[in-house]
Amino acid sequence: GVTSGVAAILVALNPILATGFSRVFLPDERLSSIGVVGLLLGIVGVGLVARPNPTNLLTSDFVASGFVLLAAVCVALGSVLVQRTDSTISTEGMVAWSNALGAVILHLISAGLPSESVSSITISIEALSAVLYLAVFASAIGYFIYFDLLDRLGAIEINLVSYAAPVFAAVSGWLVLDETLDLLSVVGFFGIFGGFLLLKRDAIREELSIPEWVGL
């Protein structure tokens, strides 16, 4: 399998992948040099928070890591292509079609895997609760917010949410599971926050009416 730290790093490639795809499909959607610095600072922050074991980077299951990376590529490319097409489909329609098509594809793939069978399904309250949470919050509500923000912010900025995942995971582990939140994790938080400030400096300056000579 793939460790959570390695998965966090691979998923955090989303904004960088989206930037690369944007240069091909969205010539007008480009980052400034300061924006690129912010992008890189963010992924360094993710690395400090996730801190995957260097050994795991080499020994993690290649197929599992490949699927995680493929998922990141699909999300980044999909967001860029949706922005490029400038579809007239509503946000609700986007959510419905993405979930319907995704369900069909996943069921077809599952049917072709020898390790998957209906008889092996175990129904429990925990499993049903997890499926319900994923269906309502992660899929329906989550994708509604995603497509709405994609239309407002663009492919590069919307994929910055990937930087927040390890932060929430670390803080949740600290609050709920009594996991240790060490100094490097806190430094990583500031790295991610600093990268966000660099990427959104123009919007922040405009919102707060800060003059350009301040340097933000």
Question: What is the average per-residue pLDDT within 72-95?
Answer: 78
Q: Which of 151, 157, 202, 149 is nearest to 15 (CA)?
A: 157
pLDDT in tens, 68-80: 888 888 888 888 8
pLDDT in tens, 35-58: 788 878 888 887 787 776 666 555
Domain that holds residue 158: 4-214
Q: How many CB atoms are located within 10 Å of the residue 189 CB?
A: 18
Q: Which of 198, 200, 189, 197 is nearest to 45 (CA)?
A: 189
Q: How confident is the model at residue 28 (pLDDT cuts 50, 70, 90)?
A: confident
Query: 209 phi and psi, to 5 degrees?
Result: 55, 45
pLDDT in tens, 117-157: 777 777 888 889 988 988 888 788 887 887 787 777 777 77
> What is the model's pLDDT at position 54?
66
Report the predicted TM-score, pTM, of the whole model to 2 decimal places. 0.68
pLDDT in tens, 97-109: 777 888 888 888 8
**How many domains is the chain partitioned into structurally?**
1
CA 143 to mean position of chain CA atoms: 12
Question: What is the average per-residue pLDDT within 182-188?
Answer: 81
Question: What is the average per-residue pLDDT within 111-118?
Answer: 73
